[in-house]
Structure formats: C-alpha cells, structure tokens
Amino acid sequence: MMTAKTSMLIDNPESKDATAKDNYQVNDFVVRFANTNGTGSASANNMFAKAILRMGIPVCAKNIFPSNIQGMPTWYEVRISEKNYLGRRGGKSEMVVAMNAQSIEEDIQSVKSGGYVLYDSSKHLSDNLHRDDIHYLGMPISSICLKEYTDPRQRQLFKNVIYVGALAALLSMDFTLLKGLVRDQFKGKEKLITPNIYALELGYQYANEHFICPLAIKVEARDLVNNRILVDGNTASGLGAVYGGATVVGWYPITPSTSVIEKFASYCHRLRIDPASGKKNYAIVQAEDELAAIGVAIGAGWNGARAFTATSGPGVSLMTEFLGLAYFTEIPMVLVNVQRAGPSTGMPTRTQQSDILSCAYASHGDTKQILLFPDSPTECFEMGAEAFDIADLCQTPVIIMSDLDLGMNDHLTDEFQWQDDKAYQRGKLLDKEQLDELKEFGRYLDVDGDGICYRTLPGTHSEKGAYFNRGTSRDNYARYTEKPKHYVENVDRLTQKFVTALNYLPKPAIVQGKKSAKVALIYYGTTSHPITEAIDELSSHGISVDTLRIRAFPFHDEITQFIEKHQDVFVIEQNRDGQMKTLLVNELQVDPKQLTSIINYDGLPMTSYQVVQGVLSRFSDKEAAKQTKKKAG
C-alpha cells in the first residue's frame, strides 16, 4: 500500500527537483481524463478544454467513449498545442486524471515517463499501481465531497468540478477566467453558479495547499485562437441544414449521427418558429427505421421541400435501395453519414472512414452518388448548407461524409460565416409561368444537353408538367419503357449529369510549392487533422511534400493532374482496405503503382506518427529494394 503521504508531490523530493530545474513544458502536452460514463464528467472536462481555449491556446479534445449509458470507462483526451497540432497525438500522456477504479491500472500505464497522475486518494492506491517514473498527485476528492455535500448526486457531480479546480492550480490556468466560464455556462440557471464555483475553489485551494504549483507542465496565455471556435461537427451539420433551408427531416437514431438531428431540431426551435403564428417552419419525423427515414426525405424532395436525413453505416446499408431510387428518378435530398467503425454493428462509438465505396456506388445497378468530405466543423456547416444547393442543381442525393471523430468531438475551427446575399439555388425547377410558356414538357428531356432536365412539382399547373415518377425504366416523358434505345439514352444521360455536377462541387484543396515535391499526400475528412504536424515532422527528415485534400466525389481533373505530377503519392485514410485509393484507381486513369496507402483502422483518430511512419517506411522499403538490386547486380 502506498501511503497518502508519498502521493503528495510536496513531500516528493524527486518532483521538487523537477520544478527546481525551472524547465517547464509550456502549452504542449496532453491531459487524459479517465472517467466512468454517466457520472457527469463530460461537462466538467469540456469546461477544462474551453478554459484553455479562452486563454488563447489552441486545444483539441477527443472523447473516447463506449456504446453504453452508465458505468463503463470513458476517456477524454485534451491536447494543448501552441503549434496548432490538432490531430490526436497518440502515445502516452503527460497527465492522467484517473477517476475510474475500473480502468486505473491501464490509465496509470498510459502516463508518459516523468508525467503525472491525479487520482482520488480517498481510498489507498494499491501497490501494484506504483510506478517509479511518474508523479502521483493524490487528492481525497470523494472524502471532500462527502464532507461538503449531502445530496448523493451532488457528491458525484462535484467530484468532476473539484478536479478541474485542482488542474487550474496545477497547470497554472487563469482561475478568474475559469470562474467566468462557469457563469457563462450556467447563464439562466443562476442557482448552479455559486455551488459550481465553490467546488472549483475547493479543488483549487486543495491543490495549492498540498502540491507544488504549477507542475513542470503548464499553460501560459497566448493569442493564438483568433476567431476560432470549439465545436463538434454534428452541431455544425445541423446548423448548416438550418441555413441551407432544410424543412423536412425523417430520421432514425443511430450513434454517432443522432446529434445532427437533435441539434437541427434545437436550432429550428430557436430560429425557425414563425413569429406571427408561433408555428413551425419545419417538420421532423422520427421514423420507424432508416428505410422510412430516407423515404421521408425523398418524398419531400420530390415535392420540392429541402429535406435530409442523417445516419451511420448500418443505416446506410438499409438506405441503399432508396438511394438507388433517388439516383434513378433524380430526386434531390441530403444524407449526412457520420461514419463509424464497421462492418455490421462494428464499433459503434469508434471512428472510421469506411463507407467510401458503399456510398460512392450506393444501390444496385449502375449508380453513382455525390459525396462531400468536410474536414472540420466549419466545413460541416458550409457543406451542410451547400449540399442542398448541389442536390437541387444536380437533382440527385448528396451524401455528406462525416465521421464519429469529426461529428462528436469538439474541434478548434474557424467561426461560422454566412453571406446574406447568397441566394439558394433551386436548379431547373419550373414554376407555373414557365410551364405556361413551355411548348413541350418531358421530365427527362435533356433540353440543355448537360444531362440535367427540368422538373416540376405536384400542384403547380392544371394542364402541364405532371409526370409519373417511377423507379422503372422510362422514356423522356417518364413513360414506362424497356426499349434498349430509351434505356441506354437515359443512363448515358445520367453519366453526363455527373460530369456536369463537377461544376457545382467543391474542388480539392491543393498545397504545392512552386517546384513540385516528389512526394505527395492525399487525404480527406478527418485524416487532414494530423497533416500539419506530419508535414513538419517529415520536413525534419528532409522530406518535403505537396498535399491534396479531396473534398468531393466525383473527382475533379485536378486530382488526376496532381497525381501525375508526383512520383510517390500516399493516400491517407481510416479504413482497412484503402477504399479511397480503390476509388481513385477505379475512377481516374492513374497507375495503381503510383499510389501507396497509409491506413489506420483501429477506431481511434489517426495520428501524425502513423502518417510519418507510413511515408518513411515506404522509403526504407525502396532503399532496401535498391540495395538488394545492387547486390544482385
């Protein structure tokens, strides 16, 4: 048994040495919170991250949680990085707040040598949890709560706030600012402010009295956040749909997409109530399953409302028949796919980018779907709105390919912006007057030769424009036909339509020097998060790289040109099979040998280390091959 005494840093000579060196690690470390889910730790942990943000220091937070409501281990990893390295760093953490007895053994192992573990010393820590190379900060949090509070729920909840208070002292956070944050957070619930601040102070005082503060890791206020905000992608997607004019939603709850709709609903509740009547300018149906959810969106899209649904892998599987119908009957709608680890139920609370192929060609027959790949909550917001224009312009579903990491974790991202003069683009939609002037209407007549035809809505005109929308093969006037000529004409026009679609899709984001580098990285969505750090790391190895971030499918020509310009192209993604690489090879005239996959599919966000190792190992392989060749020669 370790005694409480030795766990206190102030009595620990080793740590005195550490601080005496005055060699602080400032604004560059990881704090990992180990909690039990359902204990209210999430809001306290979030408060910690936000306080760092308000000190002007870039921060990224990852929630690593189970598919469970109460009682299982959950982690919250906060990376503080002055250099704006906002991907998951990976490896061990400088500090662990170990609040879960279930996982404490593993948690103590996850502390970096020389690092700290803050734990609840109300009970003795067993000897086998002792490591010589880390510092133990024992704080009797449960005992404090037992003494201070009578309500069992409060005793539980304030534990979390108390350790945040202690961290403020230990890491030299701005305590006044932290208290201000509490006031902001509980605005409107004033009763909660005083007890929360009191709990913060309990922790803060205890740490100051018992530990040498600050530790060798600490934060210092900077001005590096600028106009950025800390928000999750699902909130942004939901808000984007409000801005994009979505009025009809059909959905079925599924992790990790649920909060897209919940946020859409809560923003609608604030922003979409008709001021005169108090009635809703929107309608949401929680459907019986994903089949119905997308059916609702398609029915509404056919009838001219901007409609969407959100789901994840298993839901996408169920929706594919309907996606084929919408592709073939050319109905606009938006689907937000917040990807998780598959196949099957897979790991519902872990992240992956593994629906690329199943979405690109969703449904039976020759099909193709438009995909958008946001890499940040800012893009979730922008694409979340823009997707409705694209769907209307192209008269086809648009799938926004988010993922659990992007959707459910808070990311530091550029603030949301909107141009009021940007009008919704409804595409080739005929109103009564236009129909009056029209000589002849055929729903699938390619009047403009761009593969996109004119559509009409039910109820528009008493004589013209009605057609029978059907999943069966049809002629230009929407009449059933199985004549080879009509069928081929129709599906060829759809091919043409997806070429036209490129005009409306966001182009890839390319960064290259005046003189092209030999090495290039292609990535998309959340694999862009570790890239800044990876580029710096690679450059320290003498490797300079050009980069291309894919933002949409079908692919623009720029992607082919970019690949052709580079000798070694790495496609970085989060699935086992290198699905984007497959899609690139399948769609573009590129030599598969030119592309090398760097993949991560363990369900956790990719780290820069993985990217760097992927690149380096390719070169060491090449070098080895050269050597072998030489020897053989």
**Residue 417 binding another protein, by CB under 8 A:** yes
Q: At its nearest, how many Å lie between another protein and the CB of residue 399?
A: 18
Q: Which of 85, 211, 322, 570: binder of another protein (CB under 8 A)?
A: 322
Helical (H) or strand (E) element with 115? strand 111-120
Query: If we measure between CA atoms, which residue out of 376, 353, 377 comes closest to residue 606?
Result: 353
Q: What is the spatial distance between Cα 478 and Cα 490, in angstroms, rounded to a whole number?
A: 10
First to last CA, the chain: 65
Q: Which of 9, 161, 248, 265: binder of another protein (CB under 8 A)?
A: 248
Which range binds another protein by CB under 8 A, 100-108, 246-254, 445-453, 538-546?
246-254
Beta-carbon contacts of 334 under 8 Å, excluding residues fewer than 6 positions away, are 241, 244, 246, 297, 306, 307, 308, 309, 387, 388, 391, 397, 398, 399, 400
**Residue 394 binding another protein, by CB under 8 A:** no
Q: Which of 247, 358, 547, 574: binder of another protein (CB under 8 A)?
A: 247
- Please say which residue, 14 or 431, places its beta carbon nearer to another protein: 431
User: CB atoms < 10 A from the CB of 440, how many?
Assistant: 9
Q: At its nearest, how many Å lie between another protein and the CB of residue 492?
A: 23
The overall longest dimension of the chain from CA atoms, in Å, is 92
Q: At its nearest, how many Å lie between another protein and the CB of residue 497?
A: 21
Contact 385, 295 (CB under 8 A): no
**Residue 199 binding another protein, by CB under 8 A:** no
Site for another protein in 458-477 (CB under 8 A): 458-463, 466-472
Q: What is the spatial distance between Cα 242 and Cα 245, in angstroms, rounded to a whole number?
A: 5
Query: If we measure between CA atoms, which residue out of 245, 344, 248 comes closest to residue 296?
Result: 248
- Please say which residue, 152 or 278, places its beta carbon nearer to another protein: 278
**Residue 487 binding another protein, by CB under 8 A:** no
Sign of the dihedral through C-alpha 377, 379, 382, 386:
negative
Q: Which of 9, 51, 170, 300: binder of another protein (CB under 8 A)?
A: 300
**Residue 295 binding another protein, by CB under 8 A:** yes
Site for another protein in 49-78 (CB under 8 A): 50, 53-54
**Residue 289 binding another protein, by CB under 8 A:** yes
**Residue 9 binding another protein, by CB under 8 A:** no
Q: What is the spatial distance between Cα 128 and Cα 107, in angstroms, rounded to a whole number?
A: 13
- Give CA torsion, residues 12, 14, 17, 18, to 10 deg: -100
Site for another protein in 88-117 (CB under 8 A): none
Q: At its nearest, how many Å lie between another protein and the CB of residue 483?
A: 15
Q: Which two tokens stand for residue 164?
A: 């945040």
Q: At its nearest, how many Å lie between another protein and the CB of residue 392?
A: 12
- Please say which residue, 459 or 592, places its beta carbon nearer to another protein: 459
Q: At its nearest, how many Å lie between another protein and the CB of residue 448?
A: 22
The helix/strand/coil state of 369 is coil
- Please say which residue, 131 or 432, places its beta carbon nearer to another protein: 432
- Please say which residue, 292 or 531, places its beta carbon nearer to another protein: 292
- Please say which residue, 81 or 378, places its beta carbon nearer to another protein: 378
**Residue 427 binding another protein, by CB under 8 A:** no
Radius of gyration for the alpha carbons in the chain, expressed in angstroms and rounded: 28
**Residue 314 binding another protein, by CB under 8 A:** no
Total residues at interface with another protein (CB under 8 A): 73
Site for another protein in 432-461 (CB under 8 A): 456-461
Bridge-partner residues for 347, per DSSP?
Answer: 341
Which range binds another protein by CB under 8 A, 208-216, 238-246, 498-506, 625-633?
238-246
Work out the angle at residue 175's Cα, subtended by the Cα atoms of residues 173 and 180, and round it to the nearest 5 degrees: 120
**Residue 610 binding another protein, by CB under 8 A:** no
The helix/strand/coil state of 211 is coil
Q: At its nearest, how many Å lie between another protein and the CB of residue 389?
A: 11
- Please say which residue, 209 or 366, places its beta carbon nearer to another protein: 366
Beta-carbon contacts of 474 under 8 Å, excluding residues fewer than 6 positions away, are 444, 480, 481, 486, 490
Q: Which two tokens stand for residue 290?
A: 């994903």
Beta-carbon contacts of 361 under 8 Å, excluding residues fewer than 6 positions away, are 367, 368, 369
Q: Which of 151, 274, 433, 440: binder of another protein (CB under 8 A)?
A: 274
Helical (H) or strand (E) element with 550? strand 545-550
Query: If we measure between CA atoms, which residue out of 119, 479, 523, 142 comes closest to residue 356?
Result: 523
- Please say which residue, 24 or 467, places its beta carbon nearer to another protein: 467
**Residue 592 binding another protein, by CB under 8 A:** no
Task: Map residues 155-174 to x or -, x wherever contact with another protein holds by CB under 8 A.
Answer: --------------------
Q: At its nearest, how many Å lie between another protein and the CB of residue 398?
A: 16
**Residue 480 binding another protein, by CB under 8 A:** yes
**Residue 245 binding another protein, by CB under 8 A:** yes
Q: Which of 271, 499, 511, 625: binder of another protein (CB under 8 A)?
A: 271
**Residue 175 binding another protein, by CB under 8 A:** no
Report the Cα 429 to chain-centroid distance in Å.
Answer: 33
Beta-carbon contacts of 464 under 8 Å, excluding residues fewer than 6 positions away, are 435, 436, 438, 441, 456
Task: Map residues 213-232 to x or -, x wherever contact with another protein holds by CB under 8 A.
Answer: --------------x-xxx-
Q: What is the spatial distance between Cα 135 and Cα 7, in angstroms, rounded to a whole number?
A: 8
**Residue 619 binding another protein, by CB under 8 A:** no
